[in-house]
Chain A
Amino acid sequence: MKKKKKMTLARRRAITGYLFIMPWLVGFCVYYIKSLFMTIQFSLSNVSVDPKSGYSAAFAGLRNFKYILLEDGKFNKILVTSLRDIVIDVPLVLTFALLMAMLLNQKFIGRTIFRAIFFIPVIMGCDAISDAIAQARQAAVGGISSTSAAITESSASTVNLDYYVALFKDIGLPSSIIDYVVGAVDRIAEVVDLAGVQIVIFIAALQSIPSSLYEVAKIEGATSYETFWKVTFPMVMPHIITCLVYTVVDAFASSEIVQYSYDMIFSSNSYDYGSAMALTSMVVVCLILFIVVAWIQKHTFYYN
């Protein structure tokens, strides 16, 4: 008797739970699952657009994928460049965001103002005005917001960047590292724009670390360098995964390859090729994401 009553309560709770998530469940089935199936169907068929009756699709097997991978010269190239950009950007954005979050997490005068300024990229992150902002950025000559190429070109500048780059090369640092750093500094504006949300997440993560851990580290005589690697970094690790996923998705959504498939669908009206491109790029990115997250997860320490 008692057992039966408990069962019904559990079942009632389950039904209430379903009621709570019902709107999303319906939406997910109708818009996401159906749409994904439709995209797969498009990519596997030969779609012809008819202005009167809409479209007609005839099954064509893997022909579209063969076409975009082997015959369309541009797709491969753009996919590789986009992926390379993402792979280069992600560690850069994450490192930068973590460093900035650690600086902004300290107590100092004017912290509120700086935090507010660092939030602005989150707000500005939109396509409609980003072009205008990018143009304005180019126009704002000088300072670190312009590229190093612009600095070396402008005659008014007294900084000779090539000289310093050559200096580091003379020391014997491998040129690939120097190029990476120079490239990173070159694109500091982009990195800042990409890192807005991540900085917020990292600040919240840093504040969630119990202060007792730092006290212990201090009593045991750890230097701040050791404290970072033994306390801060492992504790922030789970959030690095969150940020990693967000960064990759964000970077992918604004990458060239997405633009290319968008143009393919809406400008050239090639529904089949566009769908195949979108699917291929998505699968590749998800695969990379899955591998990287699984690898990090293996090395992640969970406090709770």
Chain B
Amino acid sequence: MKYFRHKNESAELLKSDQQISNERRRMLKSAKNLIFALFRLCVLVGISYVILSPIIEVVSNSLFADTDATDPMVYIIPKRPTLEKYSAVIKTIKYWGVLATTLLHDVVLMGLQILICSMVGYGFARFNFPLKKVLFACVVIMIVIPLHVIMLPLYIEFKEFDVFGIVSLVKGGPINLMKTMSPLYLLTFLGCGLNSGIYIYLFNQFFRGLPKEIEEAAFVDGAGAYYTYFRIMLVNAMPSVITVAVFSLVWQYNDYFFTKLFNISSWMSMKISTVYEQVAAIYDINSPTITQLYLYAAVVLDLVPVLLIYAVLQKYFVEGVERSGIVG
């Protein structure tokens, strides 16, 4: 009896010992988690500050009055907030008209990009044909080749546009496509537009991840390849379509390479790049500090539409990127 009692007691003692050590372990763990969460918060807030600080600076400076810019007492918060910089820039670059044209062409180009790149990606993902591997290697080469290597031939190609001499026959000479949007449309339509290689790669990875059974069922039911592609595959590829849509909208809108190469002066990014000189000339401003304020206002005006698009599509976009096959 005594023996048993003793054993029970020691068992109880042992149990409580274990409980204590368990408790201690739990406390240690929660403390560790807390410290790590704090560390994570510090890092993320710090990096977020790095990303956001110039934006805050630009927005606040664009609201400065001329006197605030030279006042050493003013930092971030303007003494006399004013919207005159905005109205001046809107007037100088005819903002609303430029925005409308840019967005219109941007959206149409985005549609073309999605259509062509998804078609090419689908072709690579689902059909077997000779030289397929070589051709897909060409897509990768297209991504890797820096655009500046081919920019001069492209410039000449569109400056003296002449497809197999047909244009010369009809019009009596090559036509100059500079300062028009047609080079952008031609390039995009032929799958060589801005970042098209990346989009083709993305669509290819995504289509390869979709189950083959859907298409087989459609094929058995008598659907043609194009019907299957438009009505079944493209609908299923919605996440990657949204990803490409956002990337293409934003990158095309902000594109400076092609617009500069083809001299499309009515594109938003071209207008923003010249606004500094224009404002200085029109309003006769000699101080670069003050001209800079106008540039900041122009940058805000340039970014607001993009950020709005991003805010609307953000949720789908993050989901889309994660679900689509952007990764190898």
Contact = CB atoms under 8 A, between A and B. Distances in A.
Contacts of A282: 145-146, 149
B187 A31 contact: yes
A23 B116 contact: yes
Nearest to B40: A103
A231 interface: no
Contacts of A183: none
Contacts of A115: 318
A16 B122 CA distance: 11
Interface of A is mostly: helix
A55 B149 CA distance: 18
Contacts of B250: 122-123
Which interface residue of B117, B120, B128, B196 has the most chain A CB atoms within 10 A? Answer: B120
A36 B54 contact: no
B157 A31 contact: yes
A18 B148 contact: no
A54 interface: yes
Contacts of A127: 256-257, 269
B48 A20 contact: no
Contacts of B88: none
B130 interface: yes
Nearest to B50: A145
Contacts of B147: 253
Contacts of A124: 254, 303
A205 B123 CA distance: 25
Interface stretch (A66-74, A174-182, A235-243): A235-243
Interface residues of B, number: 90
A31 B160 CA distance: 14
Interface in A269-289: 271, 274-275, 278-279, 281-282, 285-286, 289
Interface stretch (A87-95, A134-142, A161-169, A215-223): A134-142
A166 B148 CA distance: 43
Interface string B114-158: 001101101110111110100100110111111111111110110
A129 B302 contact: yes
B328 to A, nearest CB: 5
A235 B150 CA distance: 36
A282 B145 CA distance: 7
B110 interface: no
Contacts of A15: 129
Interface string A178-211: 0000000000110010000000110111011000
A149 interface: no
Contact of B191 (A23, A39, A100, A242): A23
A16 B146 contact: no
13 contacts: A26-B190, A31-B157, A31-B190, A39-B152, A120-B51, A124-B303, A132-B298, A133-B55, A143-B50, A192-B51, A239-B327, A249-B144, A265-B152
9 tightest Cβ-Cβ pairs between the two chains A and B? A17-B127, A27-B190, A20-B123, A24-B191, A126-B254, A35-B153, A35-B150, A128-B269, A38-B153
